[in-house]
Structure formats: structure tokens, C-alpha cells
Structure 1
Amino acid sequence: MKIPQAGPSPLTDVEGGDATPALWIAIEKDGTVKITCHRSEMGQQVWTSMAQIIADELDADWENVEIVQAEGHERYGDQNTDGSRSVRYNFHRLRLAGAAMKQMLVSAAALYWKLDPSQCSAATGKVSNSENGETLSYGNLANIAARLQVPSEADIVMKDPKDWRYINKEIPSLTVPLITRGEGTFGIDVDVPDMVYAVIARPPQVFGRTGSFNDSKTLAIPGVLQSVKLPDAKPPAMFQPLGGIAVVGTDTWAAIQGRNALEVEWLDGPNAGYDSDDFRKAMEIKARQPGTVRRSRGNAGKALAAADKTISAEYYTPHLSQSPMEPPAATARWTGDKLECWACVQDPQATRQTLADVLDIDKENITVRATWLGGAFGRKSKPDFVVEAALVAREVGKPVKVTWTREDEVRHGFYHSTSAQRLEAGLDSAGKCTAYRHRSVFPPISSTFDSATDVPSDGEMGMGAIDVPFAIPNLQVESGTAKGHLRIGWLRSVANIYHAFAVQSFAAEIAHAAGRDQKDYLLELIGEPRLVNPNAEQASYRNYGGSTEDYPIDTGRLAEVTKLAAKMADWGRKLPEGHGLGIAAHRSFLTYVATVIEVKVASDGTLTIPGIWLAADAGTVVNPRHTRAQMEGGTILACQMRFTER
């Protein structure tokens, strides 16, 4: 049997990145199929969904599938696990990788049997032939297949969706059984030989500095080994640590007790005296003034002045803490000039680059291993806590685990932006909305990367503001400036949090002013099925990084989820005393979602929620079970947030 010699892979530059099968799939002699997941697992079940995509096209036996977590490296392409992009960015190339590997296994079997590949077929981890019905397992064929030329994209045949076996199926989680048995490794679980533990006393404000300190009482605490002064943070914040004093001990509790005994004089920085209540008032004043026009249709100002009736409302959202169940934790070990880190990070590549920049070492000397994340919501895409571990480990000469307490996370984490929104609408004599103006003011995320920036980005404004899908003839969206005084970071759904809250609340206000049913009026605002292009109306719309051809704003899909949620809730039914129904519909990260909530108001003013009905259109769904869980989790999180209207 003569085996061809493999050459360079022709799949290194396909849509989404490298689809070379060997990058993603390893098949062992016993038939075990090890699939590499290059995204971080934080409860969203990306381990399972990535495996489903590859295993389906590979025709692997699901019982033999195992997951391997990738280290942070450019060879995997984008590893930033946020923005609801793991499946969207990788669906095509992972299908290609699985299909290419299956094709190579079939070719290997054909070589072994000396048959034409058309006489061989693969299913559930085996290749059989039509000549005599013999079968060979993938484990038997892996060594031969590994030496074959990878087929080009044009020569790979992927499955028709109707033949999918794992994709779009409710496959049980690969992680939950491990979690329930305590077998998974989160950031806090990492344990390496000769490790010590650290917690850090940080300045009370961003860019505050460490003055004099006295650690004599700290060092007297049993188990405390030493203290380490970290460099003061300097603008811009980026992902650098905040500075302060690290207390190192034989265990985390000793380090915490030592930190409690530490005496530090903190020196004020440029953000001293920041008061969120005063800042709110300033934002609200700004929202009442003309801002920078970010989208315009017709003449909203003129139409408002000519309207038979006008209404306005203001909405405020406070700073929000991501507060994942597992606060940040990272372990670092130096071996000569090489650094190895284990951490609960959403983006191991950004972590690797940040470490190289702050520590001034070659990136090739850094290895970052992503653990499981006990929740994240955006916090763990900022690797400041990993840099802290590396700095302390370099100083003490031992592996160090840095642990953030819950109090640390709330006091010193990255906060979701606060905002003030002002919305105005004009109605004609029949109650039809003829004018709409939305002004949005908030310190932008970009202020974390450039302290002088106070203008919201196109990406942030495109999350629920400039992409509003309403069929109103005169519409204008404006933004105001606001300076960031904290480290502003993204939280689950990012700027949609405050924009959707304001827009959908105001839609209900308009319906009330028009004397109309809220659901019916919302559908009227959405209008007839059509594709909306904000860029045609003086906007700079990013569409969540997706093509507007592949992922247009489709009002028909938004209307359908609205109707479905209302139907599930039996909208229009007679409600008990003190009960009310509300509905909202929004497109976020290319997914259309509508929610109906029933609220009960008790005689003492206490609010309870007897029921929630939700409809979502996310396009192709790899695992409906896990998508449903994410929607339920997002709904619960949203119900915990408390915003205000004026």
C-alpha cells in the first residue's frame, strides 16, 4: 500500500480562519476523538457546541468525543469569547475541518482496501465499504489518514442540514457532569507545586497611588510570608493592574488577614472625588441638549414642533458590576525567562499580549492556559488579574495564585457604563407616531483605552440606538459626551442594556399616550416586514461585526417573535387585580428576542413576577437546550437590574 505524502494544508485561509483538521481533531488508536475548543467555557456550553459542529461533519461517535482546551495562540484565530460570536465566527470552518477529516479517513480506508473512495462511507466513528461490508474504526485509520493530503475547500462536501445528527439537537452538556463530580478546573482550582497565595490591597480610585505603608502587623500574621509593592497604574487604564500592595501567604486566608492588618497611605489620583450622583445630574443635563447626530431620517425637530401631541421621558442606568459567581483568579509561574499562567480568562491571546506589554518580555516566552470560568459576563476578558499574578510571582520567585474576593471585584473591577437617555416623540391627531428623537449620554468603553475619549463609539451606539427598527417618518438619534472616571468595561449585551431599556420603555409610553394597546402599538412602530439599513440615514453602523447582507436588520423577524411571545402569554386576557403585562422586542447581537412579563403589585407596593414568556430567533442554533438556558439566565439577570425613569 503506497501512501501519498501530505503537503501544506489548503484550508489555512478559509472563512473564519484555519480549518486544517489536525489543528482541531486528534484521533487515538482506541477511537477516542479529541476535539480542541479554542474558546473559553464559562457556562455558555461552548465546549459542547464546538464539539457538536465538528463531530457532526466528522460523523464521529459522540460517546467517544473528548474536549481539549486550547492554549492562547494565534494559530487558532480569534479566541476572544464574547459578543455571541463563537458559533457565528467558527461554524463554517469547524464544519470544514470535520468534513475534511472524514474525507481523509474514507480515503485512508479506500487505500487499505484498494478500493475507490466512492465505494466507502463513514458513520459513527467507522468506515465501511460496499464491496464486502467490512468496517474499520477511525482509530484504525487515523495513522494512515494523517499522512494524506488535506483536501481543498472546493473538494469538500459538507452535509445537507437535513442530515445533521448533532447540530440543532439537544445534546447533553459535556461540562455539567464534570462540574457535578467536582472534576472540572476553574481558575480558583489551579494547584501547582510549591505554590503560594496572594491578595492585593488596591488604591480606592482608578489611578490612585500607593504612598507610605507599614506591613509590620501584616508580617506578624501566622502564614504571611511577605508583601510586594506593585507599580502604580498610569493612564490609559487598558488591562493593566491598579497597583497597590500584594500580601503573600501560605494560604489565601492568611493573605486576607495580613491585608486587613496592612497600614497604607493612599495618594489621590485624577479621579478623586468622583460622585456618581453628581455625574448622573450632569449626564441628564447633557441629554436635554442637542448632541452629535448619529442617524437621521426626515426632520425630527420640525416634526416634533408640528405634532398634535408630544411626550418625553428620561431614563437612567447606574454603573453595574459584572460580579461573576467566581471572582477573578490567576496563577503564574516563572521558569527562568519563561512565564506560564493559568487563569479564568475569556481571551487568552489578549492576556498573552498584555502580559508581554506590561512585563516587557517576548510573547513567545509566555504560555496562557485558560481554565473554566465560573461566570464572566465580560469581566474576565480584562486580564489585569493575570498580570498581577505574574508580577508577584516574579518578585517572590515562586508560583503565585492571586485571588480576588467578592469585595475586591465590586470595589476594583471594571464597571459597566452608567447612562442617561432622553427620548421624545410626536403624535398626530390619530395617535400615530410621526417623530422620534433619542439622545444617549454615557462614558464610553473606549475611555478605558484612551483617557481623553468621551465620545461613544459607533459600535456602542449601534447597540439599540442607531439601529432602532421603528417605521417612523422622522427619526433622529444623537449622542452626548461623558468622561470616564472608572474602568469602563462591557457587561453581557453591552450598550443594549441601557438602550433597549430606554427604547422599549418609551415605546410603551408612546402607546399609553396614544391610548393604544402596547403590543399592537409596538408592532405598528416596527412596521411592515422590511430590511433596515441605518447607514443609508447618515449612520455608521457596525452590525456586531457581521455582514449586513448576511445579517440584515429584518423587521419581519422582530415582529414575529413579538407576536409569538404575546401569543404564549395569552396577551389580552383578563388579568387579576393588581396584575399587568408588559412587552419588549429587541435585536441584539444579530438575534431577535421578545419578552412578555407579568407583574403583580401587592397592596404594600411589593412587586412579584408570576410569569415570563420569551421568544427568540437566533437563526441556526447548534444546541436548543443550551440556547434556552442562556435566554433563561439572561432573563433572570435582567430582572435583578433596577433602573429608573424620570
Structure 2
Amino acid sequence: MSSFTAVKNFSRRDVLKLFGATGGGLALGASGISWSPMAIAQGKEPRLNLFVAVGEDNKVYLTCHRSEMGQGIRTGIPQILADELEADWQHVVVIQGLADKRYGSQNTDGSRSIRKHYDKMRQMGAIARTMLEQAAADSWQVPVGEVEARNHKVVHVKSGRSFSYGELAVAAAKLPIPELNHVKLKENKDFKHIGKSHKIVDMDNMLSGRARYGYDIQIDGMLYASISRPPVLGSDVESLDDTLARKVPGVVDVIQLPVPEGPPKFQVLGGVAVIATNTWSALQGRKALEITWTASKNDSHSSTSFMESLIQGVKEPGKLVRQQGVENTDWPEDSTQQAIYTVPYLAHAPMEAPAAVASVTPNGCEIWASTQTPQSTQQNVAANLGLNDEQVKVNVTLLGGGFGRKSKPDFSVEAALLSKKLGRPVKVSWSREDDIQNGYMHAISAQFYQAKLDSDQMPTAILQRTAFPSISTTFAENVEYPSAGELDLGFVDIPFTVPSHRCEAVKALAHTRIGWMRSVSNIQHAFGIGSFVDELAHNAKVSCPKMWKEMLGQPRHIDFSGQQFKYGNYGEDLSRHPVDVGRYHQVIDIVERNMAEFAPNQSNQGWGFAVHRSFNSYVAIAILVEVENTNLKVLQAIAAIDAGLVVNPDRVVSQTEGAVIFGLSLAMMGEIAFEDGKVKQSNFHDYPVLRMGQCPDISVTVVSASSAPAGVGEPGVPPVAPALTNAIFAATGTRVRDLPVNKKLNV
């Protein structure tokens, strides 16, 4: 497939440049407002929330309002639009949407870009196609039923006459927007782009080095900032000597940032910013600062002692969050199996650390940022500068990884505050050390699982507890329990058929900024339940896949009614995205079959298995490991993913492969430790990510499905850790219940 023309950020003024002041064309926004560039030239105001534009140059300009971080969304959204539009892929240009609330949500996280916008994008493409068809029918003075859009043209079926889209653009722009009930969507069998693998539109630029990330942005007159932030959450500058810093060549100023009161939210952390004419001088000036920090209530925080308290907490009764059947109170010692699983603090560590450029003027602010949340960036920058949202323009660059870290716009706020203070554009670039030590951590956690067994060693009752500081603590003070939304993520939503299934949450306070990371609470919950099912299977002398199928029961849909909680289902209606046990079975069966194709294990090798539903998708994973002495080698990973209807299969495979690598990095080596309130790790030497030599061969099966599109970016991560540790047990007989694995084995 040919790639698109370079992706662009387009504003109202840019449209004039695109078509020329005397050009014309058709564009549609989510609200269904039509406009033409000619109308702009005449001073008429169009809507900004554009998805489809057709120019007289015969090119189709498709807006992607989501952020691209390698997942391919700047290809997936246009594929949907182009399919319903009957656009020729080689005549498509992608426009990167700016921050604008009229797009609807632009928050590119939660694996929801396709599942939340699939229907809307189809409608936008179909509306544009319908208007082009009507324009052609009007020109030929024939009934619209006699014309048909085909591959970038509208054809009169009876005579064979045709118009290109460019020839129809101006006329189509003058037509009223058709009602949705008069717009016909394609049947799935007629798709030309949806369901077909397309090379991502940014690939060529990424491979050639022409791609522009947040770190690459430079504008005239820009200054560079490096910030020394408080090493403990809640501390502030007690004393500052910046004499030596100001003597560093290139340093132009040293500015102290205030520590905000209340919960962290997306505010700056405070600290001291060194401003220079180049990045190197800013970094060297920062090293020359002499700072002492005030005391904080978090000074005594130790992740070791905190984990011990979480472990003790899950041994005691917690707050009921789900009860299926009647509570079991009889736990005989000889027929009860239990275990506790722990996961440490984790950092996102994307290859590109956070970076933003801000230019504040008397009229407003313009931001260039590697952000997953342009609207949140706009809102938070505006609030900190005392502006209206509309006075802040946010340009979205490519992201060199995000994983949820770049959904928090604190780094853009830092740049904006410094630009306002200096009256110059300012670029804030976080270092790797900044990112690891001052980010928003994935929560430290402990999970308790207990099962009562019958005479066949099958569970008849399950009790589970979870303890971890909630993401809600970032936004409100004195939060003690995980939120319902976090408990929905792999904890309360496991659809077992056991007669009694009880879930409890345990108190845990926060001592650092807690944030969502790729797959969020599914990380710890899938590790817990995926490991425990394997332990039950071993005790019952059956395979782990068989135990999963036995505990899940027969294919059916689950709504958890009458179980004392309301399931959020990742924000989706259960009628559209049901909890479907049959789809669990399907991915389990696929992985079992694929495992059979590989040679039998050697004595020091073992297969591990896990399955998990998250973000409305179903993923099963099997991992083969080899352990020689205490040296671990991961040999093979086999995955099957059912994400419903898939727009770009190549990206689903790629995302699942990436999820396996991400999950292995966390499970094998991921740990952030706190001592005296400070993060001990600083860079990839002590917070490593998987190297190429540690990567297994990975095979991915994408289930062909016509059900509603579900998530892809995150669902592959949760089952990786339990599949890995279950494999280690199969190879060695040693059970790993506390991550990371490198506490026990050399990786």
C-alpha cells in the first residue's frame, strides 16, 4: 500500500493555505455542518471540528483527532473514513486535529480510539459520500438512486458517465447535510479499507528520521528549561544557591516554581528551573544548583515496609465489592488453598520522555507537545494561565511512546508557566531520570486469593482481596480505597461459575503520584488471578487451560446482576460489549492448538498459560521458558486476541507483540523502590526494559470477528506476567508470587 502525504496539523487559517483563497471544497464536522474554503475567504465562519474535506485538487483530507504513538491510529481513523467515503487510498492526506472539545473525547488512552469512534467515523464518511453523489445527480439531472460513488469517483450507472471527487467538491459543499437516517452505510462484505492491513501513515518518516516528536520541536526565539523537582512528593525549596548555575555559559535565568496545595492532579511539582539558550547549558546549570528541600509527610515512605503493610492488610477482611452467591464462611484447612501475590511500583518509561514547547503572548498560548490528551492539556494550561480554553492552541506531535504517562499534561503546564514568566517561547524536556523519579507511578499492590475445594480438588468458593493506593488519590485527598473503576479492571469482573465468589477491597494510602499505566489495574489483578488458577490446576492435576474452561463454565453472557456492584465495562453498554464466556473459550482453544505445533519441552523447559478479558477484548497467551541453573530465557510467546471487528490487522498484531514485550519487561525486571520518600532508580541501568536478546519469538493470532470493535493497545499486557511465572513453575517447580522475576532468577 502507498503511504499518505505527510500528516499535518490544520487550523482554520491552514485551510486557506491548503486550498488557496480562491479554491473550493467540501468538509464535514462531527456536528454535521458543511462549509467551503471559499466561504472562509468571504469571511464566513466554519466549524473547526473537521473530519472530512474534499478539495478541487481531488485529494481527500481526513482529520484524525487522536494522538499517534506508534499504535497506528492516524491510519486506523482514516481507514474508516475512507472506506465509507469510497476514497482512493492514494489520494488521501491525513490532518492531525488540534485540541477542540467539539471533536468529542480526544483522550488517547483506555484502548478506545476505535471502539468509541468507529460508528461516528463511518457516518462522517458516508455523509460526505452521500453529498458527493447528490451533487453529481444534480449536475446530470438524474435521480440520485442512479448514481454511485466508486473509488474516488461518482458514476452514473446507466450511462457510465463519471465525475471525480475534485470536480464535485464545490457543488457538494453547497448542499444541505443529509439526516443520518437518509445515509446508507456499507455492508461489511463491501469494505475496501476496514479489515485490511495498511502500512501506517507515519512509517516512512519514522524510518527515515523525518518524523517530528515533542523532543524535536524548535521555534524561533525559544529558550530551554531543565527543572530540578522535589525528590519527595510534597516537599519544597527550603534554600537555593544558584550562583554557580548562573555562571554556566548559555544560562539566562533561574526560576523557582511554586509547589501547589492540595492533591497533585496535573499541576507542576514545583522545584527550580534553569533556563538557557540550549539544552546542554540548561542541564549543566541544573547540576550546579545547590538546593535543600523542606520536610514532607512522605519523607519516611519505604516501599518495602509499605508492601509489608499491604500484605498484612489483605490477610484481614476488607470492604465488600462483589458477592456472587452466598458468602462462604467455612474454610477447612485440609481443603482450602490460598496465596498472596505482589506487584511493586512501576514507571511508564517511554523511549521519549515528556516534552513540550509553550509560547505565551498577550493574546493566548500555543503549545506543541507529545500529549495523549490535547483537550486536558488545553484546559490545564488555560486554568494555570488564567485564560479561556479557546485561547490555548495545542499542536499534537508524534509521541515516542506514551503508555498513559503522556495523558498527564503537567509537563505542558510547566512550559506554559515558564514562558509566561520569561515572555519567550520555552521548551521543557524531561530527562530519563526526571521521568523515572518524578512521574506518575503505577500502584504498588498485594492480592490475596483463597479457594475452597471439593473432593475432586475443584473450587466451590473463592475469596479474593486487593490492596493498592488508588489513582483517585492524585485528584482528591484522604482517599483510602480503590475506586470502582479500578476494581472493574480484572478484579470483580472474572466470570467464574463457582457457587460463592466474594471480592473485597483493602485500605491503602498514597505516598507518591499514582497514575494509569498501560492496562492499569489489570496488571496486578491478572497476575493474581492468572497465577492462582494455575496453582489450582496444578493441585487438581489438570492443565491450566482446562482449569480456566472448567471455572468459566459453559459459553454465556454475564451481566453480574444481583452481585452487589454495578459493572462499568470500560464505559461500554453490555448489550454491545457483553462479557462473553464463549469468546474466552475461543482464544483459549486457539492458543492450545498453536502450542501443540511446537516440540515437546526439555526437562528444564516449561509452558505457562493465562487468559484475560480487558478493554472489551479477550487475550490468551502461552509462554515457553528455559531455566538453566538460575538463568531464565524466554523462548516463545503465543497469543490469540479477539478484539471484535478489526480495522487494521497488521496493527493489532504489532500492538499485541508490543504488549508481550512491555509485559515481559514489567514482569521480569520492573520495580520502582522508595526509600526515605525518594525513588531509588534513575535510568535504564537500574530500571531496565527488555533488550532484543531477551525477546522471545512471538506469534499472534487475530480472531476474525464481526462483533463491535474493542480495545487493542492494552489487552495484551495483563496475561503476560502470569503466563511467564506459570512457565517458570512448570520448568522449575518454583512458584513466583512476587514480581519482578529477577528477584529470584537471572534474566
TM-score of the pair, normalised by structure 1: 0.95
Equivalent residue number for residue 487 of structure 2: 461
Equivalent residue number for residue 732 of structure 2: none
Distance in 2 between the 1:529 and 1:168 partners? 26
Mapped contact 2:50–2:63 kept (Cα < 8 A) = yes
Given the alignment of the two structures, is residue 37 of structure 1 paired with residue 64 of structure 2, yes or no? yes
State the SS of the aligned residue for 1:84: coil
Amino acid at match of 1:234: E
Which range moves more in the overlay, 404-413 or 112-121? 112-121
Distance in 2 between the 1:300 and 1:315 partners? 23
Matches within 5 A, 1:312-391: 312-391=338-417
Q: How many pairs were matched up?
A: 634
Equivalent residue number for residue 318 of structure 2: 291
Given the alignment of the two structures, is residue 12 of structure 1 paired with residue 31 of structure 2, yes or no? yes
Distance in 2 between the 1:354 and 1:377 partners? 20
Structure-2 change in CA distance of 1:620 and 1:44 (3 Å): same
Given the alignment of the two structures, is residue 606 of structure 1 paired with residue 625 of structure 2, yes or no? no
Which range moves more in the overlay, 458-467 or 511-520? 511-520
Given the alignment of the two structures, is residue 433 of structure 1 paired with residue 452 of structure 2, yes or no? no
Equivalent residue number for residue 737 of structure 2: 645
Mapped contact 1:303–1:434 kept (Cα < 8 A) = no
Given the alignment of the two structures, is residue 526 of structure 1 paired with residue 552 of structure 2, yes or no? yes
Deviation of 1:131 after TM superposition, in Å, equals 4.0
Which range moves more in the overlay, 571-580 or 494-503? 571-580
Mapped contact 2:355–2:369 kept (Cα < 8 A) = yes
Given the alignment of the two structures, is residue 487 of structure 1 paired with residue 513 of structure 2, yes or no? yes
Mapped contact 1:427–1:435 kept (Cα < 8 A) = yes
Distance in 2 between the 1:10 and 1:359 partners? 29
Deviation of 1:430 after TM superposition, in Å, equals 1.2
Amino acid at match of 1:195: M
Deviation of 1:641 after TM superposition, in Å, equals 1.6
Given the alignment of the two structures, is residue 173 of structure 1 paired with residue 192 of structure 2, yes or no? no
Equivalent residue number for residue 400 of structure 1: 426
Distance in 1 between the 2:571 and 2:105 partners? 13
Deviation of 1:517 after TM superposition, in Å, equals 2.1
State the SS of the aligned residue for 1:536: coil
Partner deviation per Cα, 1:372-430 (whole Å, 9 max, x = no partner): 11100000000000000001111111100000000000010110111000111111111
Equivalent residue number for residue 17 of structure 1: none
State the SS of the aligned residue for 1:24: strand
Equivalent residue number for residue 217 of structure 1: 244
Deviation of 1:300 after TM superposition, in Å, equals 4.3
Structure-2 change in CA distance of 1:530 and 1:571 (3 Å): farther
Amino acid at match of 2:594: M
Deviation of 1:360 after TM superposition, in Å, equals 2.2
State the SS of the aligned residue for 2:111: coil
Which range moves more in the overlay, 382-391 or 133-142? 133-142
Identify which of 600, 603, 610 aligns with 1:584: 610
Matches within 5 A, 1:179-258: 179-258=206-285
Equivalent residue number for residue 148 of structure 2: 121
Partner deviation per Cα, 1:421-466 (whole Å, 9 max, x = no partner): 0111111111121111110000000000012112111111011110
State the SS of the aligned residue for 1:301: coil
Distance in 2 between the 1:613 and 1:206 partners? 41
Equivalent residue number for residue 535 of structure 2: 509
Mapped contact 1:308–1:428 kept (Cα < 8 A) = no
Distance in 2 between the 1:398 and 1:357 partners? 20
Structure-2 change in CA distance of 1:10 and 1:596 (3 Å): closer
Partner deviation per Cα, 1:92-112 (whole Å, 9 max, x = no partner): 111001011011001111112
Distance in 1 between the 2:98 and 2:363 partners? 19
Equivalent residue number for residue 658 of structure 2: 633
Deviation of 1:21 after TM superposition, in Å, equals 11
Mapped contact 1:580–1:599 kept (Cα < 8 A) = yes
Distance in 2 between the 1:245 and 1:148 partners? 57
Equivalent residue number for residue 266 of structure 1: 293
Structure-2 change in CA distance of 1:573 and 1:299 (3 Å): farther
Distance in 1 between the 2:177 and 2:110 partners? 32
Distance in 1 between the 2:638 and 2:327 partners? 34
Matches within 5 A, 1:530-569: 530-569=556-595
Mapped contact 1:241–1:385 kept (Cα < 8 A) = yes
Distance in 2 between the 1:21 and 1:50 partners? 18
Distance in 1 between the 2:330 and 2:168 partners? 72
Distance in 1 between the 2:323 and 2:393 partners? 48
Partner deviation per Cα, 1:469-489 (whole Å, 9 max, x = no partner): 211111101000100111000
Amino acid at match of 1:484: A
State the SS of the aligned residue for 1:374: coil
Which range moves more in the overlay, 554-563 or 180-189? 180-189
Equivalent residue number for residue 623 of structure 1: 648
Distance in 1 between the 2:274 and 2:644 partners? 50
Mapped contact 1:128–1:134 kept (Cα < 8 A) = yes
Equivalent residue number for residue 442 of structure 1: 468
Partner deviation per Cα, 1:161-197 (whole Å, 9 max, x = no partner): 0000000111111111121122322111111111111
Mapped contact 2:29–2:124 kept (Cα < 8 A) = no
Distance in 2 between the 1:565 and 1:13 partners? 45
Amino acid at match of 1:645: R
Amino acid at match of 2:351: M
State the SS of the aligned residue for 1:576: coil
Mapped contact 1:34–1:66 kept (Cα < 8 A) = yes
Identity across aligned pairs (percent)? Answer: 39
Equivalent residue number for residue 275 of structure 1: 302
State the SS of the aligned residue for 1:354: helix
Distance in 2 between the 1:99 and 1:319 partners? 47
Deviation of 1:574 after TM superposition, in Å, equals 3.4
Identify which of 76, 83, 94 aligns with 1:67: 94
Distance in 2 between the 1:474 and 1:131 partners? 67
Distance in 2 between the 1:356 and 1:144 partners? 40
Identify which of 33, 58, 82 aligns with 2:85: 58
State the SS of the aligned residue for 1:538: coil
Deviation of 1:605 after TM superposition, in Å, equals 1.3
Distance in 2 between the 1:483 and 1:159 partners? 51
TM-score of the pair, normalised by structure 2: 0.83
Mapped contact 2:30–2:49 kept (Cα < 8 A) = no
Given the alignment of the two structures, is residue 154 of structure 1 paired with residue 246 of structure 2, yes or no? no
Equivalent residue number for residue 708 of structure 2: none
Partner deviation per Cα, 1:545-570 (whole Å, 9 max, x = no partner): 00011111111100110111111011
